[in-house]
Amino acid sequence: MLLALGSCKKGGFGNYPGGVPYEYIAIFDIRNIYKGQDVQLTRDALAGATFLHAIVTSDHSGGNLPEGLLVLQDNRRNNWLRGICVNLGADAANYHPGDSVKIKIEGATLTRKDGVLQITDLSASDVVKTSSGNEVTVTKIDAGAILANPQTYESIFVMVTKAGFTPVPPEGALMKDEEYVNDGFATIRLITNPNAVFANDPAPGLAVYKGITFNTLDAAGKLIPQLRPRIKSDLISMGNISLAQPLIITGLQRDPQGGDGNYEYVQMMATNNDIDFSVTPYCIVFTNNAGASTPLGAPAHGWATGGQRTIKWNITSGIAKKGQFFYFGGTTKMINGSASTPYTGDSWYAKQFITTTGYFNAGDGGVVTPSAFGSATGTPSGPFANSGNPCGVAIFKGININKESVPADVIFVSLKGTGGSLYQPATETAQALGYRVTTNDWYDAVNPDNLEPQPFARMTTGALGINTKSVPYYTADLGYFDLLGGVYNTTLGRWTKARSESTFIDLEKTSTWAEIETGDNVTRLEE
């Protein structure tokens, strides 16, 4: 065995003496050959391979891709999808998305030209189309991931969802006039050539942008990604969907050290204007889906189900000042349970969660249960569940809600994003049941892929429509504060940096309120 191991030749991709090299090489391996200098693609450089066999993603009929570049992608190496450009000149336009091509690349050159890694020095006869109409994989990705990994996503066919131009375009602006879009994760340059078929189309509001990612080089040699839609159908307007949220959830204290009692709370913020709750009342609804919470099964009336599943309290006084934190929580007003630092400000709306006899207080009346929205029975430790089963909180404008009501904001918490009977699909004889979501940085009430409604948590319509995001559940009584830090742009009326789902502060009894209200990881507004 030692002799056999010692005789193995250390080749680029694991070839061994006496073996027959595989004639095809993966795009992943081709990209790894390039180390900043032009490379002649000899058989040695290609580890004995001769050909590249991949799927075409480029479509030059839209007039918006770099001329002469045939764009390909494959997942031949370990199912890792990678893309690359092949410079064919005018012949690149002869191929269409879904074409499978076999290209003899032995003797060609691998170079980075105008910021784009590409294979050059080929002729039309080096390319053979082996089939057409194949599926073209589109990668749903956020702009932040593209900017952080320009090499990985270069020459990949991607889809960026819920994106809007920034700054907001003036009325009547055309696609060719606008350059940057933000999807809630980052801002990326969107290229529209003056002669593109969609150049004179009106700039959409919220939209889905499909396209191919290319890189340019800045003065320091850093790769700067850009997104180029290929054809008109790569731009999908999301219509009148609005991401504007006048009141947002910015943090949760859902399990303080020691008993929960009246110590749990929700941190919020007004975004556009001060909110005087005596003039514009809101309500806050908690959902607890522990295994024994009744009524069992999917919530028959959504957030208005009541019982031990949902409980509502009205917020009818106090003021949430724009850009300042506002709290809804127990009457004790302490940062981390009993004997911890008290809150001394004037932005707290208090409710007595637990009665003096240890029972849970009933919620405020609602449409479905006029006298009390939420059960007064049992001895729960607070409005949030401690079982790991999904719980959550939603805020609504107004104080009367029913199964059709859509929250102004919503956040779920769960151990693994499963369990709890949150959703029941529709059948031939019954409507779908579940907790409705709003379209925000975490959830999509409309699938951005196919624009089909998906109004409930855990509901999916197609492979890319997913409403499963949640704050991870931690072991009980640790005193973690969930810091849902993000950036909300008041001019755009949307999140330009999505809230963090797993940032928390391990609070002590002596922790100060500044720890959850200041610093780089708290939610802030921008204009």
Of 113, 9, 108, the residue nearest 49 (C-alpha): 108
Q: Is 70 exceeded by the pLDDT of residue 12?
A: no
Query: Looking at per-residue confidence, does 6 or 308 come out higher?
Result: 308
Quote the pLDDT of residue 387.
74
pLDDT averaged over the chain?
89
Q: What is the CATH number of the domain that holds 26?
A: 2.40.50.140
Quote the pLDDT of residue 8.
42
pLDDT mean over 268-288: 96
For residues 124 and 68, give the distance between their C-alpha atoms in angstroms, rounded to a whole number: 12
Of 362, 353, 359, 351, the residue nearest 379 (C-alpha): 359
Q: Is 90 exceeded by the pLDDT of residue 355?
A: no
Write out the DSSP string of 262-311: T--EEEEEESSS-EETTTS-EEEEEEE--TT-SS-SS-TTGGG--TTTEE
Query: Over the Cα atoms of the chain, what is R_g?
Result: 28
Q: Is residue 233 domain-shared with residue 293, that is, in the same domain?
A: no
Contact by Cβ (8 Å): 197, 63: yes
Q: How confident is the model at residue 361 (pLDDT cuts 50, 70, 90)?
A: confident
Residue 347 lies in a domain: yes
Residue 473 lies in a domain: yes
Of 6, 46, 53, the residue nearest 29 (C-alpha): 46
pLDDT mean over 452-462: 83
Domain limit, last residue, from 85, 107, 131 = 131
Per mean pLDDT, which of 58-67, 373-382, 454-463 is the most reliable? Answer: 58-67
Residue 2 lies in a domain: no
Q: Is residue 458 domain-shared with residue 318, that is, in the same domain?
A: yes
Q: Is residue 318 domain-shared with residue 177, that is, in the same domain?
A: no
Q: Is 80 exceeded by the pLDDT of residue 18?
A: no
Residue 217 lies in a domain: yes
For residues 164 and 489, give the distance between their C-alpha atoms in angstroms, rounded to a whole number: 12
Domain limit, last residue, from 84, 109, 131 = 131
Determine what percent of the chain is predicted with pLDDT higher than 70. Answer: 91
Of 116, 151, 386, 134, the residue nearest 257 (C-alpha): 386
Quote the pLDDT of residue 358.
61
Q: Is residue 34 domain-shared with residue 97, that is, in the same domain?
A: yes
Quote the pLDDT of residue 21.
62
Domains held by the chain: number: 3
Q: Is residue 27 domain-shared with residue 75, that is, in the same domain?
A: yes
Domain that holds residue 256: 241-527
Contact by Cβ (8 Å): 464, 449: yes
Residue 274 makes CB contacts below 8 A (sequence gap 6+) with 319, 320, 321, 322
Domain limit, last residue, from 84, 111, 131 = 131
For residues 358 and 45, give the distance between their C-alpha atoms in angstroms, rounded to a whole number: 74
Q: Is residue 213 domain-shared with residue 119, that is, in the same domain?
A: no
Report which DSSP code applies to 442: S
For residues 274 and 272, give the distance between their C-alpha atoms in angstroms, rounded to a whole number: 7
Angle at 186 between CA 218 and CA 240, to 5 degrees: 130
Q: What is the CATH number of the domain that holds 374?
A: 2.60.40.1260
Quote the pLDDT of residue 380.
55
What are 355-360's contacts with CB under 8 Å, separation 24+? Answer: 360/311
Residue 312 lies in a domain: yes
Alpha helices in 267-382, H assignment, sequence order: none
Q: Is residue 467 domain-shared with residue 504, that is, in the same domain?
A: yes
Q: Is residue 370 domain-shared with residue 428, that is, in the same domain?
A: yes
Query: Looking at per-residue confidence, does 451 or 213 come out higher?
Result: 213
Alpha helices in 272-391, H assignment, sequence order: none
What digits encode the pLDDT tens for the residues 94-140?
999 999 999 999 999 999 999 999 999 999 999 999 999 999 999 99
Q: Is residue 199 domain-shared with residue 328, that is, in the same domain?
A: no
Of 128, 16, 103, the residue nearest 53 (C-alpha): 103
176-192 burial string, b = 16+ CB within 10 Å, else e? bebeebbbbbbbbbbbb
Q: How confident is the model at residue 465 (pLDDT cuts 50, 70, 90)?
A: low
Residue 209 lies in a domain: yes
Cα dihedral value 327, 333, 339, 342, nearest 10? 80
Q: How confident is the model at residue 64 (pLDDT cuts 50, 70, 90)?
A: very high
Write out the DSSP string of 155-188: T-EEEEEEEEESSPPPTT-BGGG--EEE-SS-EE
What digits encode the pLDDT tens for the residues 71-90?
999 999 999 999 999 999 99
Per the listing, tokens 């959409």 go with 204
Torsion-angle region of residue 331: left (phi > 0), alpha (psi -120 to 50) or beta?
alpha
Q: Is residue 486 domain-shared with residue 380, that is, in the same domain?
A: yes
pTM for this model (two decimals): 0.78
Contact by Cβ (8 Å): 522, 250: yes
pLDDT mean over 247-265: 93
Q: Is residue 431 domain-shared with residue 512, that is, in the same domain?
A: yes
Please count the CA atoms within 13 angstroms of the CA of 412 that sit on its side-chain side. 29
Residue 5 lies in a domain: no
What are 2's two structure tokens? Answer: 């030692």
Q: What is the CATH number of the domain that holds 208?
A: 2.40.50
For residues 212 and 287, give the distance between their C-alpha atoms in angstroms, rounded to a whole number: 42
Query: CA torsion sign, 85 to 236 to 184 to 452?
Result: negative
Query: Looking at per-residue confidence, does 382 or 42 come out higher?
Result: 42
For residues 412 and 374, give the distance between their C-alpha atoms in angstroms, rounded to a whole number: 18
Query: CA torsion sign, 9 to 15 to 19 to 21?
Result: negative
Contact by Cβ (8 Å): 256, 343: no
Q: Which of 39-43, 66-70, 114-118, 374-378 has the lowest mean pLDDT?
A: 374-378
Torsion-angle region of residue 441: left (phi > 0), alpha (psi -120 to 50) or beta?
alpha
Q: Is residue 86 domain-shared with residue 103, that is, in the same domain?
A: yes
pLDDT mean over 349-360: 76
Residue 309 lies in a domain: yes
